[in-house]
Amino acid sequence: MRDGDEEMAISQKCQYALRAIYELARRQDEGPCKIGAVAEAQGIPVRFLENILNSLKGAGFVDSARGKDGGYFLRKDPGAITVGEVIRFVQGPLGPVVCSAPRGDEEDCDFYNDCVFRPLWDKARKALEEVYDGTTFADLIHQSEHACHSTLCTSCGRKK
C-alpha cells in the first residue's frame, strides 16, 4: 500500500545528480567533460542534466569551463564528496520519516513525544547516514573497477 509519502526513496532527480557526479569523478583525469558525454554514459536526459549540473555548480560540487574544450568538472576530489552530501543537497535530510530528520520536532508529528516508533526511525536514519556519509565518489569508482566483469557494466555504464 503506497500513499505517495515516500520519505526514504531517492528521487529520480537525486539519482541523476549522483550519477552525474559519479561520471565526472570517473573522468576527472580527462579534463572538463561535455554534458552530452555525461548524459550518454549515465542515461540521463540532457534537458534534466543541464538543470541538475547548474544546481550542483551553485552548490560548489561542480564547475564548468567555456569554449571548445569546455565542459563540467568536479570542484573537489572525488574522495572529498560523499553520497550523503549530494542527497541532502538535492532532496533534503535523510530519514525514513519526517520526524526522524535532525530538524524534526513536535510540529511534524502529533505523537512525537510519545511515539513508540521514534527510536526505530532514529536508528534507521542513523544507519542511512552511516552508509551514505561513509561512501565517497572515490569509493564508488574503486567499487566499480573491481565489480565490473562484463563487456558493458550496467551499474556504471563503463565499457571494458
Q: What is the pLDDT of residues 41-68, one digit of tens each?
A: 999 999 999 999 999 999 999 999 999 8
pTM of the model: 0.82
Distance (Å, whole) CA 107 – CA 32: 45
* Residues 98/143, Cβ–Cβ less than 8 Å: no
pLDDT value at 38 more than 70? yes
- Quickly count: other Cβ atoms within 10 Å of residue 42's Cβ: 20
pLDDT value at 142 more than 70? yes
pLDDT for position 95? 79
56-113 pLDDT, tens digit per residue, is: 999 999 999 999 889 999 999 999 999 999 999 999 888 777 777 666 555 667 777 7
Most confident among 8-12, 69-73, 93-97, 117-121 (mean pLDDT): 69-73
pLDDT for position 145? 83
Question: Residue 17, CB half-sphere, CA atoms under 13 Å: how many?
Answer: 26
Q: How confident is the model at residue 8 (pLDDT cuts 50, 70, 90)?
A: low
Q: How confident is the model at residue 1 (pLDDT cuts 50, 70, 90)?
A: very low
* Residues 128/115, Cβ–Cβ less than 8 Å: no
Distance (Å, whole) CA 88 – CA 77: 19
Average pLDDT rounded to a whole number, residues 1-20: 76
20-31 pLDDT, tens digit per residue, is: 999 999 999 999
pLDDT for position 105? 53
CATH 1.10.10.10 fits 12-144, yes or no: yes
